[in-house]
Chain A
Amino acid sequence: MIRIEDLHVEIGDREVLRDINLHIGEGETHVLMGPNGSGKTTLIRTIMGFADYHVTEGAIVYRGRDITNLPIHERARYGIGLMFQRPPTIAGLKLGKMLVATSGNRPEEVAEYAAAMNMAEFLERDINAGFSGGEIKRSEVLQLMIQQPDFVMLDEPESGVDLENISLIGSAIAKLLEKDRHIVSRHKSGLIITHTGYILDYIEADAGHMMCDGEIRCHGNAREMLQLIKAKGYRECIECKKI
């Protein structure tokens, strides 16, 4: 689905990602872990194509196509989606209007999906204005349900979410990733940033990657890696230079 090759990224004149290599196959969900400031969000924002992230070396190849220099909206139209951790508030723009604008020719689905995400009464509210943590995540998932991306990146989907909401959000994300389908007929892929791993109660991950200092330090089983981090913290990872 997506292949990242020897990727180096700068913000301003500071190198923030170094020599990133990552391959996520069709139907696979991977987990990205690492301490704060290690470059996880930078990586997914680079994949999405945000302007402040300059790729100096390497390539991002999506479904066989080099998308390294494509504008954001073209990546989105090819099927890449991002659940923001802290999306901006847009004064005046109603969530419902945004969903209709991004729904292509399927505005009728807006009400249906909004109801499924308990967001019906938010359609007339300004996007993210005064939303609680859980409401922001529900709004993000709702936007992705309308967008129907094939490759979904989720930036800390469980942060700031209470127990009641995490089940709703976790189940909805599982559906976005076609976890309800048999592995053979599952085509959607995902990359999830998580600190707590709570989201893995709803979504089975196929692999985990540990980031430190702008590098991916190791790969492995996501649950095992999270258990290690829970037991020992990130210190061993920071000290460990093994790739």
Chain B
Amino acid sequence: MQKDIEELESLSVEDRKRLAISGLELDSLNRCGSFFQIDQEIVHMSCEYEGIEVLTLEGALAKHEWLEQYYWKLVQKDKDEYTRFVADQKHPKGYVVIAKKGSKNILPLQTCLFLAHESIQHVHNIIIAEEGAELHLITGCASSASTEHGAHYGVTEFYVGKNARISTTMIHTWGENIEVYPRSAAKIEENGTFLSNYVAMSPVKNVQMYPVAELVGEHAVARFNSVVVAMPGSCLDLGSRTILSANNTSAELISRAITRGGTVIARAHILGEVEDTRGHIECKGLILEDGIIHAVPEIEGWVTGTELSHEAAVGKIAHEEIEYLMSRGLDEDEATATIIRGFLDVKIEGLPEMLQKQIDAAIDAAESGF
């Protein structure tokens, strides 16, 4: 293991900084465990907490036969060229995290997917929270400052058991010519909660993702939050879909998007299939410099007892808001930055404070760029 840690420490100062702003702690302080994959090499894997098992995907498939029931069951292999690419790998990479029945750990498990030299990094991850378990993940995805081109294909399948809870916080720090295609899906059983948070404040060429959460057990809850900034040349086609297929399930899909010249497509879809279901979508966009924000909130109800709503707004900062802060002594730039920081400030219900702070820090780190 010592060798592995040395390998992480051999990263350049700049790359270590990129991992830090992606929410990763190389000394693993305040983390219950860590998984680091650089390109296709798994360089570090540890977990101090016995209620959580962390394995490589290959190791997990060899160790647990039953895992076959979870492998490629939520994401289809032939969904698109990216899933096919991942499915065709002889030696699939990525990790499996299993939070054992009843285990509760507030300290997050950190996973790092770092693109250094390879043209395509691929992973397939499976995350399982068994009955009554609570699992928090923070995933930092980044490319080296010296990586000019590359792509990341990631398949992730989340299984939230009865009375279980998974929060996953993904912070992206890619480069201007990197393309990213995560393919994720989640299944949430009775009384389970799934929180998915996404932060991307750095330039990237292309990110395209549309995770789907299926709420199959009564009283299941899903919440998706995303906070993104599109720099010139970036195209962020993001969204999420939630299917309310059991009574008393609910979903909330919230996005905050800023363009400084790039394109954001903020998609969201909630489908209310059965009675006594609720869903709300909130897409807010701020155009700071000419670019595109295209909000596509969709709500679809099939029965009388489903209540779905959405609000979407795209615009600029109101001048009277800037003048209000200027009248308190902030200059125009300070006032604008303060308002933007407020716009991006999303408090996520049910998220441990440490992870909320991590999200806040990732946004603060980019704040100077405004």
Contact = CB atoms under 8 A, between A and B. Distances in A.
Contacts of B332: 71, 73
A116 interface: no
B344 A92 contact: yes
> How many A residues touch the partner, as a band?
20 to 34
A77 interface: yes
Contact of A102 (B320, B329, B341, B344): B329
Nearest to A100: B338
Interface string A33-75: 0000000000000001011000000000000000000011100
A82 B256 CA distance: 31
> How many B residues touch the partner, as a band?
20 to 34
A51 B338 CA distance: 20
B318 interface: yes
B323 A51 contact: yes
B331 interface: yes
Given A73-B331, A73-B332, A92-B343, A101 B338 contact: yes
A31 B334 CA distance: 33
B339 A90 contact: yes
B342 A73 contact: no
B320 A94 contact: no
A126 interface: yes
A101 B324 contact: no
Nearest to A50: B323
Contacts of B319: 51
A93 B345 CA distance: 7
Interface in A77-122: 77, 81-82, 84, 87-88, 90-94, 97-98, 101-102, 104
B265 interface: no
A122 to B, nearest CB: 15
Given A102-B325, A102-B328, A102-B330, A91 B343 contact: yes
B145 interface: no
Interface in B222-275: 256
A76 interface: yes
B331 A94 contact: no
A98 B345 contact: no
A147 interface: yes
A92 B320 CA distance: 16
A143 interface: yes
Q: Looking at A90, A94, A104, which has the most chain B CB atoms within 10 Å of its CB?
A: A90
Nearest to B317: A90
Contacts of B324: 84, 87-88, 90
A76 B329 contact: yes
- The B contact surface, by secondary structure, is helix
A104 B329 CA distance: 9
Nearest to A101: B338
A93 B342 contact: yes
A72 B325 CA distance: 9
Given A51-B319, A97-B338, A101-B330, A92 B345 contact: yes
A94 B342 CA distance: 7
Contact of B329 (A77, A84, A91, A94): A77
B155 to A, nearest CB: 33
B326 interface: yes
B338 A48 contact: no
Contacts of A71: 326, 331-332
Contacts of B321: 88, 90
Contacts of A126: 342
B327 A82 contact: yes
Contacts of B256: 92
Nearest to A84: B324
B123 to A, nearest CB: 33
B130 to A, nearest CB: 35
A88 B338 CA distance: 15
Nearest to B329: A76
Contacts of A91: 284, 342-343
A76 B326 contact: yes
A131 to B, nearest CB: 14
Contact of A73 (B330, B343, B344, B346): B330
29 contacts: A72-B327, A73-B326, A73-B327, A73-B329, A73-B331, A73-B332, A73-B334, A73-B335, A76-B326, A76-B328, A81-B327, A88-B318, A90-B321, A90-B339, A91-B342, A92-B346, A93-B341, A93-B343, A93-B345, A97-B341, A97-B345, A101-B325, A101-B334, A101-B338, A102-B325, A102-B328, A104-B329, A147-B328, A147-B329
Interface of A: 48, 50-51, 71-73, 76-77, 81-82, 84, 87-88, 90-94, 97-98, 101-102, 104, 126, 143, 147
